[in-house]
Amino acid sequence: MTDVSPDRIEKLSSLQETLGHEFVDLKLLNKSLTHKSYVNERNELVKHNERFEFLGDSVLDILVSDYLVDKYKDYAEGTLSKIRAAVVNESCLAGLARQLNLGEYLLLGKGEHLSGGRDKSSILANAFEALVGALFKDGGLESTSKVFLPLLKFEIEKFADSWSFRDYKSDLQEITQNKLVCTPSYKVVNELGPDHAKEFEVVVMIKSKIMGNGLGKSKKEAEQAAAKIAMESFTNESNI
């Protein structure tokens, strides 16, 4: 099967409509959705999607990294890396594949199909990467960004706004080192409550000026809260 059958062309037309991209070479799209289990059951010259998966992984890194650098100018490199890793992991990409209903379009071997392969996260995530790679081959980076960045942006912003992904202390240190040639210092100014439920109050100082205070159940948590306030003050008012 070196060419795409009429039935398959009709099937893939709805996916192209969902993507908002009509492939110049439909064989690229078909290959991106061809699992190795399908190939292993056939003697025909069929190629599976693993090479496109490899390409798509790199393209996704570029799309996500470029958006992060432009959107989150005050985030430290380590924080950006954590967000990117969360967006391009199996769970997230499988979720995006489900949004596109990719499982319906996969070419799977009989055994993989019967074992629920159309909804396996690993298969769906790999298919999503392969689809990105195929669209990149068909239309270049601009077309790929136009199709996939809207999907990725929602996930990026969700993780970027999560406390667990934002290391405010590192971000604050990076921006003060780069712009002010100094590092923040933290000081516990109060301990509240009984020993079994203690809260700490911490202030952060930049060039001897208090720029934020925070509360937390640990000193580390309070320092992060103080750094967050300082980052907001610094970013919004540039008053250091």
Q: Is the model more confident about 195 or about 93?
A: 93
Give pairs for 219-222: CB < 8 Å, separation 24+: 219/188, 222/188
**pLDDT of 135 above 70:** yes
Give residue 13's pLDDT. Answer: 96
Model confidence at 114, pLDDT cuts 50, 70, 90, reads confident
Q: For 134-158, what is the mean pLDDT?
A: 96
Of 105, 93, 142, which Cα lies nearest the Cα of 15? 105
Give residue 165's pLDDT. Answer: 67
Q: Which residue has the tokens 């990149």?
A: 136
Give residue 168's pLDDT. Answer: 87
Secondary structure (3-state) at 45: coil
- Residues marked active site are found at 57, 129
Secondary structure (3-state) at 185: strand
Model confidence at 43, pLDDT cuts 50, 70, 90, reads low
Give residue 236's pLDDT. Answer: 63
Secondary structure E strands in the chain: 185-192, 199-206, 209-216
Tell me how far apart the alpha carbons of residues 155 and 162 are, in angstroms, rounded to a whole number: 11
Least confident of 25-39, 105-119, 157-171, 194-208: 157-171
pLDDT in tens, 152-193: 999 999 888 775 667 888 889 988 988 889 999 999 999 998
**pLDDT of 228 above 60:** yes
Give residue 239's pLDDT. Answer: 46
**pLDDT of 240 above 50:** no
Give residue 233's pLDDT. Answer: 78
Which domains are present in the chain? 6-165 (1.10.1520.10), 168-237 (3.30.160.20)
List 214's β-bridge partners, or say none: 202
Cα torsion through 51, 53, 59, 64, rounded to 10: -160
What's the pTM value of the predicted model, to 2 decimals?
Answer: 0.72
Give residue 188's pLDDT. Answer: 95
List 215's β-bridge partners, or say none: 201
**pLDDT of 227 above 50:** yes
**Burial bucket for residue 114 (CB in 10 Å: 0-12, 13-18, 19+):** exposed
Q: Which residue has the tokens 């040639």?
A: 181
